[in-house]
């Protein structure tokens, strides 16, 4: 069995956390490929190394003294090395970076040093070989990962007998310059590696017990999701849940490799399994109706009414053209017989709202164009909603009984998502209501 185990920033924040990582790795001989983020925060008053590196670069760029900030980074790494009694020559490593800074360093190179140094330290501590992401993770000129090239480069260096610690978050451009991914990108490195080596499991170690059904800031003591499909997770992350980097799903999904979200502080907890089809795993459990509930506030709904709208050809195209010309992306378009709505994020539409209304009125030849503001969208993600007869009605009733007015409702064509729109002010109350009815009480 081959496992890729990726540890996030909080798992490698200090020597105490690194000891937990060592225990986890050593407790399972299948854990031969370890990917790491840069050291994260120990507690709320601490700093993430990556943030400090970005800050160092900003100081450099504007000619402001950066030494104070950089010394926080140096201290973090020096302390790790001395606390764990490691052999790595951290002074020389830091001097190389300082020399580069004096000669002119790129932002991406500087920022990548967080993962680079953390991986070097972890490799020394685990007695694994250090594998620099720059030696295999390859980007195209357009910034996408070149998976074939990355795979070829990986196997040029790979030795079956070795165990590796790999730095996350960065790779190289075709001209060999370092490029970092978007924030949280070490998840992607782990996923690419799992794809390249055909892993059986991609473990993603973090500081929570897994993915929760609802955001715990909204629903106290929300239950955890044990199994979720790749597609359900995509829906959840799109609507606001944030556990794994969005892009990390694709490389493992392509090869059907399950992802296990695990807690470094509670390694015996099962965590959450992300798989292609939950039915294969949940066979003995009664599958719950709703896998997860998530959402975002601050949308505008533009409603367009006109008699026989649904039989008028081209009307939707005319409406969408208005948005396209203003380069405004649309969230969804729920429709009924004589009306349709265009749902757009407030931040995209706020300043164009009057222009849009008047253009829709004239281009679509109707006077009934209205803007409903401050709408929150709530997505219920689950399996085979279409087969759950009367579910939409039950949702309406549950919310209605709690005086929550549903402004729009939309069921995704892939049957795994029902989205409702409520007033921003009802957002938290509605999520709690749906959770209580459909998760706690399974009505
Ligand atoms: N260190 C980077 C960040 O903080 C990447 C990662 O942690 O995955 O965003």
User: What's the pLDDT at 255?
Assistant: 97
Ligand 1 is surrounded, with C-beta below 6 A, by 9, 37-38, 48, 50, 114, 168-169, 183-186
Of 72-86, 233-247, 331-345, least confident by mean pLDDT is 233-247
45 within domain boundaries: yes
User: What's the pLDDT at 50?
Assistant: 98
Query: Are 240 and 305 members of one domain?
Result: no
CA distance 269 to 187: 20
182 within domain boundaries: yes
Query: Are 306 and 274 members of one domain?
Result: no
Which is it for the CA torsion 280, 282, 284, 289, positive or negative? negative
Whether the pLDDT of residue 212 is over 80: the answer is yes
Confidence of residue 364 (pLDDT cuts 50, 70, 90): very high
Domain's final residue, options 219, 248, 278 = 278
Q: Is 386 helix (H, G, I), strand (E, B) or coil?
A: helix
Q: Alpha helices, DSSP H only, in 7-89?
A: 15-26, 49-61, 67-83
Q: Is 264 helix (H, G, I), strand (E, B) or coil?
A: coil
Tell me what the mean pLDDT of segment 203-210 comes to.
94
CB distance 376 to 426 below 8 Å: yes
* Separation of CA 47 and ligand 1 centre (Å): 12
User: What's the pLDDT at 441?
Assistant: 80
Query: Are 269 and 306 members of one domain?
Result: no
239 within domain boundaries: yes
Query: Are 212 and 241 members of one domain?
Result: yes
Confidence of residue 392 (pLDDT cuts 50, 70, 90): confident
Residue nearest to atom 8 of ligand 1 (CA): 184
Q: Which token pair is 120? A: 């070097």
Whether the pLDDT of residue 282 is over 60: the answer is no
Q: What is the pTM of this model?
A: 0.88
CATH code, domain carrying 408: 3.30.2130.10
Query: Are 229 and 325 members of one domain?
Result: no
Tell me what the mean pLDDT of segment 329-340 comes to.
87
Which is it for the CA torsion 327, 328, 333, 338, positive or negative? negative
Residue 18: other Cβ atoms inside 10 A? 25
Query: Are 319 and 228 members of one domain?
Result: no
143 within domain boundaries: yes
284 within domain boundaries: no
CATH code, domain carrying 152: 3.40.1160.10
139-163 pLDDT tens trace: 999 999 999 999 999 999 999 999 9
The average confidence (pLDDT) of the chain is 93
Q: Is 227 helix (H, G, I), strand (E, B) or coil?
A: strand
Tally of domains in the chain: 2
Backbone angles phi, psi at 130, to 5 degrees: -85, 130
Tell me what the mean pLDDT of segment 51-69 comes to.
96
DSSP string, 301-364: EEEEE-TTGGGSTTHHHHHHHHHHHTTPPP-B--B-SSEEEEEEEHHHHGGGHHHHHHHHHHHH
Query: Are 245 and 393 members of one domain?
Result: no
Domain's final residue, options 254, 278, 302 = 278
Query: Are 258 and 323 members of one domain?
Result: no
Query: Are 76 and 134 members of one domain?
Result: yes
User: What's the pLDDT at 108?
Assistant: 98
* Separation of CA 181 and ligand 1 centre (Å): 9
User: What's the pLDDT at 185?
Assistant: 97
User: What's the pLDDT at 384?
Assistant: 67
Query: Are 226 and 324 members of one domain?
Result: no
Tell me what the mean pLDDT of segment 216-231 comes to.
92
Query: Are 265 and 301 members of one domain?
Result: no
Q: Pseudo-torsion of CA 80, 84, 88, 93, nearest 10°?
A: 0
Query: Are 433 and 358 members of one domain?
Result: yes
User: What's the pLDDT at 286?
Assistant: 59
Q: Which domain holds residue 223?
A: 3-278
283 within domain boundaries: no
302-334 pLDDT tens trace: 999 988 887 888 999 999 999 999 999 999 898
- Among 10, 112, 113, 186, the mutation site with the greatest number of ligand 1 atoms within 8 A of its Cβ is 186
Residue nearest to atom 5 of ligand 1 (CA): 184
11 within domain boundaries: yes
Domain's final residue, options 236, 256, 278 = 278
- Among 13, 34, 54, 183, the mutation site with the greatest number of ligand 1 atoms within 8 A of its Cβ is 183
286 within domain boundaries: no
């Amino acid at each position: 069995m081959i496992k890729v185990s990726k540890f996030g920033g909080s798992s490698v924040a200090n020597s105490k956390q690194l000891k937990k990582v060592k225990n986890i790795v050593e407790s399972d001989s299948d854990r031969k490929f370890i990917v790491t983020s840069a050291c994260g925060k120990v507690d709320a008053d601490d700093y993430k190394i990556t943030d400090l590196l970005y800050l160092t670069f900003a100081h450099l760029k504007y000619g402001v003294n950066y030494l104070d900030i950089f010394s926080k980074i140096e201290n973090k790494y020096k302390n790790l090395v001395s606390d764990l009694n490691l052999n790595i020559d951290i002074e020389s490593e830091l001097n190389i970076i300082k020399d580069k800074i004096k000669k002119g360093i790129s932002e991406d190179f500087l920022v990548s040093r967080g993962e680079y140094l953390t991986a070097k330290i972890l490799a020394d501590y685990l007695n694994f070989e250090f594998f620099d992401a720059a030696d295999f993770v390859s980007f195209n000129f357009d910034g996408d990962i070149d998976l074939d090239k990355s795979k070829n480069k990986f196997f040029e260096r790979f030795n079956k007998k070795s165990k590796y610690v790999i730095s996350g978050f960065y790779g190289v451009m075709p001209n060999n310059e370092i490029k970092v991914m978007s924030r949280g990108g070490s998840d992607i490195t782990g996923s690419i590696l799992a794809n390249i080596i055909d892993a059986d499991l991609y473990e993603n170690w973090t500081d929570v017990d897994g993915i929760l059904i609802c955001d715990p800031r909204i629903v106290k003591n929300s239950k955890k999701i044990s199994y979720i499909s790749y597609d359900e997770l995509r829906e959840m992350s799109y609507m606001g849940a944030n556990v794994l980097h969005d892009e990390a799903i694709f490389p493992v999904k392509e090869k059907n490799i399950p992802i296990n979200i695990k807690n470094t502080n509670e390694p015996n907890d099962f965590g959450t399994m992300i798989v292609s089809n939950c039915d294969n795993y949940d066979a003995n459990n009664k599958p719950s109706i709703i896998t997860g509930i998530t959402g975002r506030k601050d949308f505008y709904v533009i409603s367009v009414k006109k008699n026989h709208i649904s039989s008028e050809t081209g009307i939707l195209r005319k409406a969408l053209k208005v948005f396209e010309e203003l380069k405004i992306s649309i969230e969804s378009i729920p429709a009924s017989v004589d009306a349709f709505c265009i749902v757009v994020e407030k931040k995209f539409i706020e300043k164009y709202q009057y222009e849009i209304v008047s253009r829709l009125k004239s281009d679509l030849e109707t006077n009934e164009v209205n803007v409903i503001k401050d709408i929150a969208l709530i997505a219920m993600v689950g399996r085979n909603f279409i087969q759950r007869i009367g579910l939409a009605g039950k949702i309406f009733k549950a919310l209605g009984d709690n005086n929550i007015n549903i402004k729009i409702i939309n069921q995704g064509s892939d049957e795994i998502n029902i989205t409702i729109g409520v007033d921003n002010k009802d957002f938290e109350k509605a999520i709690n209501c749906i959770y209580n009815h459909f998760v706690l009480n399974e009505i």
